Structure 1
Amino acid sequence: MTDDLQAALRLEVRACLKVAGLSQAEAAQTLGISTKHMSQMLTGRAPMSIAWADRITRLTGRELLIASRFGPEAPA
């Protein structure tokens, strides 16, 4: 997974937590992970997988959608 995608996932997850009014600690406890690991995923010190991003966003009542599209340099 690219660094850009990792950063985008972290940004989206943090925004979802904020809108839902959930703290990192509350989310971590509900998901059964340590607050340290949650913090590390949200700050980039640990990888944020798509699966974890999905679990966290679903916890906030949102759905993670990922789209892919080719830019101007699309392969032939």
Structure 2
Amino acid sequence: MTAEDALRSQVRDALDAAGISQAGAARILGVSTKHLCQMLTGRAPLTLAWAEDIVALCDKRIEVFVLDGPRRDSPETITDLQLPEEGP
């Protein structure tokens, strides 16, 4: 699961837990229900700013962390990559 997918999932979960429908959230945020649904399903970009606005309706906030270690969805680390040989 990518970070974007995880964010979308957590935003949807926040709305569900707060009992706020996507239609209700869209109305409050001033966007169409269709566009909000598209943001929450990956068919339209969900920016961090939009995600913050959506979860604020649920009395929640978003925190972002940069963690040590390789990406969860990638077995490679930067040291595993083969760099091209430099010519003479």
Q: Which TM-score bucket, shorter chain as reference? A: 0.7 to 0.9
Query: Take 1:42 and 1:65, find their aligned partners in 2: how far apart are those partners?
Result: 18
1:17 to 15, 18, 23: 15
The amino acid that maps onto 1:4 is T
Q: Between the two structures, name the one with larger relative contact order (CA 8 Å, sep ≥ 6).
A: 1
* Offset, 1:63: 0.7
TM-score with structure 1 length normalisation? 0.87
Provide the aligned C-alpha RMSD in A. 1.8
Contact 1:10/1:43, CA 8 A, preserved across alignment? yes
* Offset, 1:9: 1.1
TM-score with structure 2 length normalisation? 0.75
Task: Describe how 1:1-76 pairs up with structure 2 within 5 A.
Answer: 4-71=2-69, 73=77
